């Protein structure tokens, strides 16, 4: 990746494939729904949304290895050296996909969501609600998972707040079309970049099938 300096002429290319964009917005809606149903004590819908997020995470795991070029984990800019250079350049370095801070943000969000979903399966409220898999573990383990579930969600909200602030920073101060890119897939990128591969529909079908199979198996356990 280039390290800064004068940028080439910009051109509009499709950087985000349809599955990645659908994943992103479905995840946004699902997490918002989890927050609302959790606050309202609507545990029936909360559990349903939890399974939706779990299925999305399973899909993203597959798509991160075999999806579109910029959606793959190997496209993330996670090198400490690259991150430091990015910060020294005033966060102006040209990246078609996730920049270094954005890459780290996505990693932390996915990890926090994974912890949130897994702990939620074993959580309880000590009154009326038991998670779908509580009956398979001890009371002490369920209590521990409940505590982690609560603390982790606050951490997740903090990471999401930083993520949103970062997006707004690049939109307002660097005039980048990050939000539009996640809506219609296209961004204005340096002409030095080729349009990335969008991933195959065969891989998409397998990813969806595996997610459905895992969720179906878990529902059978309830």
Domain membership of residue 73 (yes or no) is: yes
What per-residue confidence (pLDDT) applies to 8? Answer: 64
> Does residue 123 contact residue 149 with C-beta atoms inside 8 Å?
yes
Q: What is the mean pLDDT of each run of 10 residues along the chain (222 residues)?
A: 53 90 96 93 90 94 92 94 90 84 96 96 82 90 95 96 93 89 88 81 89 85 68
What per-residue confidence (pLDDT) applies to 78? Answer: 94
Tally of domains within the chain: 1
Domain membership of residue 173 (yes or no) is: yes
What per-residue confidence (pLDDT) applies to 2? Answer: 45
Query: Which residues are CB-contacts of 199 (< 8 A; sequence separation ≥ 6)?
Result: 17, 19, 63, 66, 67, 68, 69, 71
What per-residue confidence (pLDDT) applies to 3? Answer: 42
What per-residue confidence (pLDDT) applies to 5? Answer: 44
Domain membership of residue 83 (yes or no) is: yes
Q: What is the CATH number of the domain that holds 178?
A: 1.20.950.20
What per-residue confidence (pLDDT) applies to 115? Answer: 97
Place of tokens 């798509």: 63
Question: How crowded is residue 25: how many other Cβ atoms within 10 Å of its Cβ?
Answer: 11
Task: Report which DSSP code applies to 210.
Answer: H
> Domain of 160?
10-221
Element of type H or E holding 50:
helix 43-66
Place of tokens 């990335």: 196
What per-residue confidence (pLDDT) applies to 4? Answer: 43
């Amino acid at each position: 990746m280039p390290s800064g300096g004068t940028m080439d002429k910009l051109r509009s290319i499709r950087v985000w494939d349809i599955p990645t964009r659908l994943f992103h917005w479905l995840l946004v809606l699902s997490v918002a729904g989890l927050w609302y149903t959790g606050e309202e004590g609507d545990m029936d819908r909360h559990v349903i949304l939890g399974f939706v997020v779990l299925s999305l995470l399973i899909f993203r795991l597959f798509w991160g290895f075999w999806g579109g070029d910029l959606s793959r984990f190997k496209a993330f800019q996670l090198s400490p050296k690259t991150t430091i250079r990015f910060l020294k350049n005033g966060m102006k370095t040209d990246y078609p996909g996730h920049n270094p801070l954005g890459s780290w943000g996505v990693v932390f969000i996915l990890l926090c969501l994974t912890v949130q979903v897994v702990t939620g399966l074993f959580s309880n409220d000590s009154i009326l609600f038991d998670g779908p898999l509580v009956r398979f573990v001890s009371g002490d383990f369920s209590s521990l998972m409940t505590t982690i579930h609560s603390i982790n969600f606050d951490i997740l909200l903090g990471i999401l707040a930083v993520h949103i602030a970062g997006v707004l920073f690049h939109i307002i101060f660097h005039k980048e079309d990050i939000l539009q890119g996640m809506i219609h897939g296209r961004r204005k990128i340096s002409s030095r970049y080729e349009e990335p591969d969008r991933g195959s529909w065969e891989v998409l079908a397998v990813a969806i099938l595996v997610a459905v199979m895992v969720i179906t198996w878990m529902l059978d356990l309830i």
